[in-house]
Structure 1
Amino acid sequence: MAKPPEKTRSTASRPIAPPPLSQHLRELALRPDAWTVFARNLIPVIGIYCFGWSAALSVFNYWFDGLTALAAIVAALIPRALRETQPKTGHVTWLGTLVRGVVTWLFLLGIVGLPYWIVLIPLHDLLLGDELRRQLAHSPALWFTFGSLAASHFWKTFRMGYDTMPDKELKQRARCDIYLLILRAMAMFIMAAHGLAFILVPLMALLLSYLEIWPERALGAVFGDPSRLWEYDPGDPTSNRRRR
């Protein structure tokens, strides 16, 4: 009796090793825009080591920026999810829809944003310490700054058109954006858990620069082919497999 074809993991889900450092350096030399990215992300590093900026505030900025960007993406996906799951019979009120949307958003943010909640454990002293609370409590300018940051994420995300994208494009774009934000939180946790909190800001500056300059390579190193993220379907056990 012939053996059934063996199933293997799809090539789309196999991690792709990034190129060597020498290739990255050659590409940097040919991309002036990449140096602009590095310079922008190094501003907090220069501020801390040269002008006495607060390290706790800089780390909180990285954490808050990532979490609010993730919250904005989840919020942008909610209207479509509600519309597609709307009951076809029965009376539906706008207030009921609003409540369902808010509850769903909070629930999904709690689940999808889990890496950002977990990172609070090793960074407890920095992100939940007295120094940061004191600075936030006595500076309306900081409240305005972080509020503007959150508002800009929501504005930018809702203008991207998640609600009207075809399903395939939506899966690809949303997963790409969400996975990059999750990688940021995972990196913060790994750095802090291994005792690198004292140099977390410089490391985050390098990481954010890499994620911005080479997002496909970062995604490929962890999740596989970055152009085929849309293929994975958690509800279909065969979605990440193929026959030889």
Structure 2
Amino acid sequence: MSKPAAKPFSTATRPIAPPPLSQHLCEFAARPEAWSVFARNLIPVVGIYFFGWSAALTVFNYWFDGLAALAAIIAVLIPRAMRESQSKTEEGGQRSEIGAAILNTVRGVVTWVFLLGLVGLPYWIVLIPLHDLLLSPGLRYQLAYTPALWFAFGSLAAGHLWKALRMGYDQMPENQLKQRVRWDVYILVLRAVAMFVMAAQGLAFILVPLMALLLTYGELWPERVLGAVFGDPSRLYEYDPDNPAKTRRPR
């Protein structure tokens, strides 16, 4: 009698427990960029305790910070995507340099808008339950007539763009690029969930500092966050959405 076929299983492992607190503290102290990440995530905490920020402004800060980071990563990836697609779809006719530059710019902008709308879908969905905060007239008035907020949020966006440029997304091998992009997508989903929790708890003051710590942890050690929730984070690149069978193997 033949044995029944073994069920395939995912290459992802069980959730991985993070290391002890002492190891985290040592690693944090040894990484100079960790302090800037922590300081950036403390902006809403300082705003609430010292500048009287409203709940709407605090939620907007978390929303804008995540969306700006995503927009910066996509913007850095666009030139690579344009080069790879151009080699496959380039027609035989010659175009003038100016015409080609204009066409590539338009394609790049359209692609950036499309990908930001698609990959950033969790952030657009968050606008539905949080529309009373993120789309409130009071928040719009604060953003329109407070130059200090222009500088603060502009600095956040510029910082994310600078970080994305330094990460070298444009030069990463394909598998490494897939891995990094999927890390960012999963972290984005977890961040959106955290925003829902904030809304459900009424933005209690104790929760805002906790969010600063959680966001800092997720940015400094994304592999540990993903490992604790989704399993082995080093094999995310193996998933093939066009052929899920490739991501499974027999026992």
TM-score (norm 1): 0.83
Runs of 5+ in structure 2 lacking a partner? Answer: none
Tell me by how many angstroms 1:6 deviates.
Answer: 2.6
Distance 1:51 1:163 in 2: 40
Summarize deviations over 1:40-68 as a string: whole Å, max 9, x none.
Answer: 34453354245523332222111101001
Query: 1:215 corresponds to which residue?
Result: 222
Establish whether residue 197 from structure 1 lines up as the match of residue 199 from structure 2.
no
Query: What is the deviation of 1:142?
Result: 1.7
- CA distance, structure 2, for counterparts of residue 234 and residue 80 of structure 1: 21
Match of 1:81 in 2: 81
Match of 1:16 in 2: 15
Q: Secondary structure at the match of 2:8?
A: strand
User: 1:96-125 deviations in whole A, cap 9, x for unaligned?
Assistant: 222111111111111110111111122222
Q: Is the 8 A contact 1:79 1:101 kept in 2?
A: yes
Shift of 1:160: 2.0
- Gap runs ≥5 in structure 1: none
More off after superposition, 66-75 vs 26-35: 26-35
Which letter maps to 2:132?
A: D
Deviation at 1:148, TM superposition (A): 2.6
Shift of 1:15: 4.5
CA contact (8 A) 1:67 1:113 kept: yes
1:123/1:197 contact within 8 Å kept: no
| Offset at residue 95 of structure 1 (A) | 1.6
Name which of structure 1's ranges 56-65 and 178-187 shifts more when overlaid on structure 2: 178-187
Residues 1:151 and 1:204: Cα distance change in structure 2 (over 3 Å) = same
TM value normalised by structure 2 = 0.81
Q: Is the 8 Å Cα contact of residues 72 and 153 (structure 1) preserved in structure 2? A: yes
Q: What is the total number of aligned residue pairs between the two structures?
A: 238
Q: Decide whether the 8 Å contact of 1:11 with 1:224 is kept in 2.
A: no
| Contact 1:38 1:205 survives alignment (8 Å) | no
Distance 1:72 1:235 in 2: 27
Q: CA 1:77/1:51 → structure 2, altered by over 3 Å: closer, same or farther?
A: closer
Q: CA RMSD in A?
A: 2.7
Residue 112 of structure 1 aligns with an amino acid whose one-letter code is V
Give the structure 2 partner of residue 168 of structure 1: 175
Amino acid at match of 1:233: D
In structure 1, the partner of 2:64 is 64
